[in-house]
Amino acid sequence: MKKISLALTSLALALSAGTAVANCDSGERVVKFSHVTGGTTHPKVVAANNFADRVNKEMNGKLCVEVFPNSTLFGDSKELEALLLGDVQLLAPSLSKFGSYTDKYGVFDLPFIFKDMDHAIRFTKTKEGKDLLTAMDEYAGFVGLGYWMSGMKYFSANKPLMVPSDAKGMKFRVQTSDVAKQMIAAMGASPQAMAFSEVYGALQTGVVDGQENTWSNIYTKKFYEVQDSTTETNHQLLAYLFMTSSEFLKSLSTEDRAQFMQIADDVTQEANLNVKAAEAANRANILKAGGKINSLTPAQRQEWVDTMKPVWTQFESYIGKDLIKAAAGA
């Protein structure tokens, strides 16, 4: 039986402690899992390695999953194309990345639509949430295996941000999400879309003044080192679509596909149960490392809500009013 081992296959991999490369046996089908996240404590890293470990043990002799984290195989801009071409079989990109394929995932990006991660998880278990897993199948051949929560987002910047007007005139890195861009614009700031791997350098050199992310991303990518502080805005969800291609799923036998999907569901449930603890731990890690965190008063928080919530109406016709209602009311 194969064993998961930590492999250092290049300098880039040496800088990424979360690489799980399996010693695949002859005759096994290699399944490549690429993602952009590094470190060892990030919820996505843990979930990806757990998934690989389970498949490699429970489907030994049939499938062999190799995990390539921290953009070591494909980066932000190339991974979806790689999945289309069959160069990789599994991804876990942010739900903000699918605007070219469907507008529906924009519901996850709407500011303040979810009170917390539990609220978001409830939505993913509704009919509307489950239906979104196959929203791109007909158009692109992409199939969601589950939603992996990463946490709520917080703004960091090169000065304290206590109210939205503090961000006026500043430049913020965002993902390739029209919703996120409009949210930043509502603050009087300028959105700058860029790959996740480029963010630290952009903050360090002043290409951008700030960014938004979870505690786990802020800690594992060390954004706190090049920012004045992070503000607990809790304004938006960051979640990933654990996904594959319909072509890959159809290539599996009925029995193997059912087992593969069951492992995916089990790992997803476990990952989402553990993410709150991981986020709390990485928040503490930021403070321990010397990072600063700003807390908001109820009045300050309401100012953020009032500034950003009008973004919902800008996207109702694209996302769907009923879908927004289902998410908000889950």
β-pairing verdict for 210-213 and 142-152? unpaired
Alpha-carbon gap, residue 122 to 161, rounded angstroms: 30
Measured distance CA(121)–CA(147) in Å, rounded:
8
Q: Where are the domains positioned within the chain? A: 4-102+127-149+239-275, 154-236+287-328
Instruction: Report whether CATH 3.40.190.170 matches the domain 4-102+127-149+239-275.
Output: yes
Residue 54 backbone class (left: φ over 0; alpha: ψ -120 to 50; beta: rest): alpha
How many Å apart are CA 151 and CA 117, to the nearest integer? 6
- Count of residues for the chain? 330
The reply to whether 154-236+287-328 shares the fold of 4-102+127-149+239-275 is: yes
Fold of 154-236+287-328: D-Maltodextrin-Binding Protein; domain 2 (3.40.190)
CA distances from 298 to 94, 162, 232, 304 (A): 29, 11, 12, 10
Pair 262, 327: CB distance under 8 Å: no
DSSP designation for 176: S
pLDDT band at 20 (very low <50, low <70, confident <90, very high): low
pLDDT, mean of residues 192-200: 94
Residue 210: its H or E element: strand 210-213
- The model's pTM is 0.87
Per-residue DSSP letter, 318: H
DSSP string, 38-93: -SSSSHHHHHHHHHHHHHHHHTTTTEEEEEE-TTSS--TTTHHHHHHHTS-SEE--
Give the pLDDT of residue 17.
42
pLDDT in tens, 223-259: 999 999 999 999 999 999 999 999 999 999 999 999 9
Cα–Cα distance measured from residue 301 to residue 304, given in angstroms and rounded to the nearest whole number: 5
Cα dihedral 58, 125, 79, 197 in deg (nearest 10): -110
Cα angle vertex 91, ends 87, 94, to 5°?
135
Is 104's pLDDT higher than 60? yes
Q: pLDDT digits over 76-96, tens only? A: 889 999 999 999 999 999 998
* Spatial distance between the Cα atoms of 34 and 79, rounded to a whole number of angstroms: 7
Token pair recorded at residue 200: 């630290």
- pLDDT, mean of residues 302-328: 97
